């Protein structure tokens, strides 16, 4: 990893970091930082590299989310976070869409400025405990009652890791609604190309000079590579050894954690 094999680390100007599973594992009491990750973020900032935190987190507003991460010791501000809810709000406004929300209660304030009367689309996020049969069925009825149903999903993750184990993610419920209504959801967030492109634009760095670091082989690594970025898979978070035999996605490298990736990248500078 440290010798000629680290060619992937050359000519980097910007890093995109996934948050859950790379910086910390979420869970009761706010979760726990992954060893070495707090210091790794500080070292990135001290190095002069551009940095964006790219999260599909949709259980909290960006403000709440950043407050939690700062409480865990991370140097992070709201302005550095690219997240699905604000991107979804832009789309809703552009297209005059009025959403029925199937999201986590704590995310609702992100949609404060959006007209929700007489909905003409459904927005689904990681609603966690709100994914009841009744709530899914209500979203289904809104969609099936439309001539051309519009389903916007704030990500399509299958599962994620909390301190007490793996949890079903929004993608599983998105698929249920797609199947029931015979439609395809529009995904806002990783792995959507627009999502990565907006993070790159916010950094002012071209894809060829950026590296994405994530724990999700499909949404983080695969999504970033489709945009022309290099991507690393960390062996933390929801990583499982079978990820290393993925039939479609091959990261530039596997690293044990964020700290190791940062070591190699900074050595190349």
Strand 50-54 and strand 81-82: the pairing is: parallel
pLDDT of residue 212: 98
**Per-residue model confidence (pLDDT) at position 30:** 87
CB 61 within 8 A of CB 109: yes
Those residues of the chain that have pLDDT short of 50 are: 1
Q: What distance in Å separates the CA atoms of residue 60 and residue 154, rounded to the nearest whole number? A: 12
Q: What pLDDT is recorded for position 173?
A: 98
Identify which of 199, 193, 255 has the alpha carbon closest to the alpha carbon of residue 222: 193
Contact indicator for 151, 124 with CB cutoff of 8 Å: yes
- 124 phi and psi, to 5 degrees? -115, 135
* Closest to 81 in 3D by CA, of 92, 93, 68, 91: 68
- Whole-angstrom distance, CA of residue 107 vs CA of residue 64: 9
Strands (E), 28-157: 32-33, 50-54, 81-82, 99-102, 121-124, 151-153
Query: What pLDDT does 5 receive?
Result: 59
List residues bridging with 119 in a β-sheet: none
How far, rounded to the nearest angstrom, does the alpha carbon of residue 29 sit from its chain's CA centroid?
21
Q: What is the pLDDT of residues 202-242, one digit of tens each?
A: 999 999 999 999 999 999 999 999 999 999 999 999 999 99
Who contacts 145 (Cβ-Cβ below 8 Å, separation ≥6)? Answer: none
pLDDT for 83: 97
3-class DSSP state for residue 145? coil
DSSP state of 73: T
Tokens of 127: 């609603």
Say if CB 104 and CB 127 are below 8 A apart.
Answer: yes
β strands within the chain, DSSP E: 14-17, 24-25, 32-33, 50-54, 81-82, 99-102, 121-124, 151-153, 159-162, 165-168, 186-187, 210-214, 230-234, 253-255
Q: In what order do the strands lie in the sheet with 230-234?
A: 81-82, 50-54, 14-17, 210-214, 230-234, 253-255
Dihedral sign of CA atoms 215, 217, 218, 220 in order? positive
Tell me the C-alpha distance between 126 and 178, whole Å.
Answer: 16
Domains contained in the chain, CATH given: 85-187 (3.40.50.1000)
Closest CA to 127 of 61, 58, 188, 25: 58
For the four alpha carbons of 222, 226, 227 and 230, in that order, the dihedral sign comes to: positive
């Amino acid at each position: 990893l440290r010798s000629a094999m680290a060619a992937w680390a050359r000519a980097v100007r910007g890093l995109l970091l996934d948050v859950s599973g790379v910086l910390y594992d979420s869970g009761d009491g706010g979760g726990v930082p992954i060893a070495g990750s707090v210091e790794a973020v500080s070292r990135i900032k001290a190095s002069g590299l551009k940095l964006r935190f790219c999260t599909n987190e949709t259980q909290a507003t960006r403000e709440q989310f950043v407050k939690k991460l700062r409480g865990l010791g991370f140097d992070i501000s709201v302005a550095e976070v690219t997240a699905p809810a604000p991107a979804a709000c832009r789309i809703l406004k552009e297209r005059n869409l009025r959403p029925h929300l199937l999201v986590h209660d704590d995310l609702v304030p992100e949609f404060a400025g959006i007209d929700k009367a007489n909905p003409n689309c459904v927005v689904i996020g990681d609603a966690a405990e709100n994914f009841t049969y009744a709530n899914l069925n209500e979203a289904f009825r809104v969609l099936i009652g439309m001539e051309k149903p519009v389903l916007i999903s704030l990500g399509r993750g299958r599962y994620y890791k909390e301190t007490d184990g793996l949890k079903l993610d929004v993608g599983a419920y998105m698929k249920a609604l797609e199947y029931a209504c015979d439609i395809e959801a529009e995904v806002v967030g990783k792995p959507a190309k627009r999502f990565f492109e907006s993070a790159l634009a916010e950094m002012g760095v071209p894809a060829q000079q950026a590296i994405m670091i994530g724990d999700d082989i499909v949404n983080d690594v695969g999504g970033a590579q489709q945009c022309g970025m290099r991507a690393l898979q960390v062996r933390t978070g929801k990583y499982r050894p079978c990820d290393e035999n993925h039939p479609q996605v091959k990261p530039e490298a596997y690293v044990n954690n964020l700290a190791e990736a940062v070591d190699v990248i900074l050595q190349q500078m």
